[in-house]
Amino acid sequence: MSAELHALPSLTDGPAEESRAGVVSVVIADDHALVRRGLRALLEREREVAVVGEADALPGALRSVRELTPDVLVLDMRMRDGSSVLAIGELREQAPDTRVVVVTAEDNPLFAEHALAAGALGFVQKEHADVELPAAIRSVVRGERYVSPRVEAKLASYRAIHVDDALTARELEVVRLIALGHTSVEVARILEISPRTVESHRARVQAKLALGTRAELVRYALRHGMLVL
């Protein structure tokens, strides 16, 4: 994250309805304390942003959103304790008025594709957060999407190539876990679903992607950066 904070227009220059009482309330969820401190310091320099909570794990992030009802959740894409993509879907059901901005060190368009499909409105690279995060928050509180320009360009290319193989968030997790070597029973336990459901997801994925074997599934996951830790 750059040390210099670029000046941006006021986050509430748009319609009055884009935030409550003229202040955008934000919860930050990242499993690295140093990153949380950096994001908090960045946002607290924005006069009309109030950081009302922090979380270092996904259950805490979901609990904070339920209890604090922030305008925006700033969520790390790769939390250690679970799938941020699946958490986005759960959050959208529990707190539909809270917008989600994903922050990540990755520029892989597949990550953006699935975060947005799950319900996130913003996708920001951490290395450009000083410029992109305030801009993203300003966009999402108006109900507009914001994607890091670098990722947006890659996303457009990705979609042009993969128009027929879009996976759901759940299918993405099943593919990733299978490619990491987990059995269907293990995947079922991790995702808290039945082994039969795992096999159904796997069959749909293989049909969508025209993949016949586990080895082909693994190669697909590797090619699309799904095994990055």
Angle between helix axes 195-209 and 169-179 (nearest 10 degrees) is 100
* CATH number listed for the domain at residues 16-159: 3.40.50.2300
Q: How confident is the model at residue 108 (pLDDT cuts 50, 70, 90)?
A: confident
Q: What's the pLDDT score for residue 162?
A: 57
Over the stretch 170-182, which tens digit does the pLDDT of each residue have?
Answer: 888 888 888 888 9
Name the DSSP class of 128.
Answer: G
Q: What is the mean pLDDT of the chain?
A: 83
Displacement of CA 8 from its chain's centroid (Å): 24
Angle at 171 between CA 169 and CA 176, to 5 degrees: 95
Angle at 115 between CA 114 and CA 119, to 5 degrees: 110
Helix (H, G, I), strand (E, B) or coil at 72: strand
Q: How confident is the model at residue 227 (pLDDT cuts 50, 70, 90)?
A: low
> Which of 12-26, 84-98, 193-207 bottoms out in mean pLDDT, i.e. has the lowest?
12-26
**Higher pLDDT residue, 45 or 210?**
45
Q: What's the pLDDT score for residue 153?
A: 83
**Higher pLDDT residue, 138 or 20?**
138
Q: How confident is the model at residue 217 (pLDDT cuts 50, 70, 90)?
A: confident
Domain boundaries, the chain: 16-159, 169-223
> Which of 118-127, 197-206, 217-226 bottoms out in mean pLDDT, i.e. has the lowest?
217-226
Q: What's the pLDDT score for residue 40?
A: 96
Residues of the chain with pLDDT > 90, as a percent, come to 46
Q: Does the pLDDT value for residue 223 go beyond 60?
A: yes
Q: How far is CA 137 from CA 7, 98, 140, in A?
A: 14, 11, 5
Looking from the CA of 195 toward its CB, the CA atoms found within 13 Å total 5
Q: How confident is the model at residue 197 (pLDDT cuts 50, 70, 90)?
A: very high
- Using an 8 Å Cβ cutoff, are 43 and 5 in contact? no
Q: What's the pLDDT score for residue 5?
A: 31
Q: What's the pLDDT score for residue 225?
A: 67
Q: How confident is the model at residue 37 (pLDDT cuts 50, 70, 90)?
A: very high
Q: Does the pLDDT value for residue 33 go beyond 80?
A: yes
- Using an 8 Å Cβ cutoff, are 126 and 106 in contact? no
The residue-averaged pLDDT of 190-212 equals: 87
Q: What's the pLDDT score for residue 25?
A: 96
Q: Does the pLDDT value for residue 55 go beyond 80?
A: yes
Residue recorded with tokens 């979901």: 62
Beta bridge partners of 76: 103
Asked if the 169-223 domain carries CATH number 1.10.10.10, the reply is yes
Amino acid at 156: A
